[in-house]
Amino acid sequence: MEARRGLTWSVVSLIAVGAIAAALPFLGSLKLNPRSGETLPRFDISDLSPGSARVFRLAGSRGSGFAIVVTRDKSGALHAFELFMSDGRIGVPGESLFVNYWCDDFGAVSANDQPDVVHLGCNDDWLQQPEFSQTKLDSRWSLAGEGLGHWNADLQPIRHVVEHNEIVIGKRP
């Protein structure tokens, strides 16, 4: 009986040592690369004044990619959103953030009746036509990303930090 117990402990010990040896490379790969923050997208926002917005385009493969929309509201708070882009045109989200239409000139839009009020929206020429006035009204957001139209959802904020007048997308504070 003593021999069986000794054999059992030997096998259990070997299995434990083997499991630890197999887990070490996996656990080692979970460490964050110290240079990982250097590859994150960074954009200069030193000239982004309160009540304004800038669009930064991140081209991907085959003409698609993402546009990073960075806004600074009137209080000075900074907001960042990610929108889909294809062939240089930004997909303006509609209900549930699906692309409603494609826009060449997305950014800050002044309200017609209140020039000091700024929203996010599409500035394309075709939206200035009277027959598209409702589309223009339904496709606008506050600088904080809140949907102001009848059908559009709020823009989804993305993680970011500000370092030395640059916004770093994807970095945790």
- pLDDT tens, residue order, the chain (173 aa): 677 787 888 888 889 888 888 877 877 777 666 665 667 888 999 998 888 899 998 877 666 888 899 998 888 889 999 888 888 888 888 766 577 788 899 988 876 666 567 888 888 888 888 888 878 777 888 899 888 887 778 888 999 899 888 988 888 77
Burial class (CB in 10 A: 0-12, 13-18, 19+), 5: exposed
Please tell me the pTM assigned to this model. 0.72
Which architecture does CATH list for 39-169? 3-layer Sandwich (2.102)
| DSSP designation for 154 | P
